[in-house]
Amino acid sequence: MDTIQKTIDASRIAAEALAFPPFVGPERESTPLNASPYVARLDDLREGRFLSNREAFVRQFVAVVDELPLFGVRAVAALLGGSAIGPKPDPGDLDAVIFYESVAGQAPDAGGLRAHIKSCKARGLDLRVMPIDGDPVITLKTVSFFTMLYSKNEGSMTIVRGLVLIDCRESPAI
């Protein structure tokens, strides 16, 4: 395993043990590799190696990611945040924005996808979806917006938690 991946994995493990602070070490020693958002693979969620304290939300989130191809899209990555990412004992839902791409040879079913995402509220998920292959400035602005929104409590301007970035791409064969 290379040094970059070791740093990413070690910071994710440390952050989970600390209920996902924005930084696991001193701010001035932090980098994009060892601070929020903490990166995990979808297989880490699927196999119970990450966020096991939020198992019900995780199970529903993974199911939704697996259902996306029914609408002609596939998840590339997702940013998870809100009170479910942190120490709150009984959060009401899991907040996430899923960045997707079109499935090759299929036209996305935007109306079906919109209805499906709306129905996820009943599953304990507050989801948004965003194409990742659009204007890169809009994608970056979207990431920045949800980073700010998901890092604080409603009505507050204070950053109180870090975030989790899920790599939803297929894991490479070992």
Q: What is the pLDDT of residue 171?
A: 73
Q: What is the pLDDT at residue 129? A: 97
Sheet holding 73-81, edge to edge: 38-41, 164-167, 73-81, 94-102, 125-131
Burial of residue 101 (CB within 10 Å: 0-12, 13-18, 19+) is middle
**pTM exceeding the 0.85 threshold for the entire prediction:** yes
Residue 72 and residue 84: Cα distance in Å, rounded?
29
Cis omega (within 30 of 0) for bond into 37 = yes
User: How far is Cα 154 from Cα 127, in angstroms, rounded to an integer?
Assistant: 16
According to the model, what pLDDT value does residue 1 have? Answer: 61
Judge whether 68 and 99 are in contact, CB under 8 Å. no
pLDDT tens for each residue of the chain, 174 residues long: 699 999 999 999 999 999 999 999 999 999 999 999 999 999 999 999 999 999 999 999 999 999 999 999 999 999 999 999 988 999 999 999 999 999 999 999 999 999 999 999 999 999 999 999 989 999 999 999 999 999 999 999 999 999 999 999 987 644
What are the structural domain ranges in the chain?
Answer: 3-167
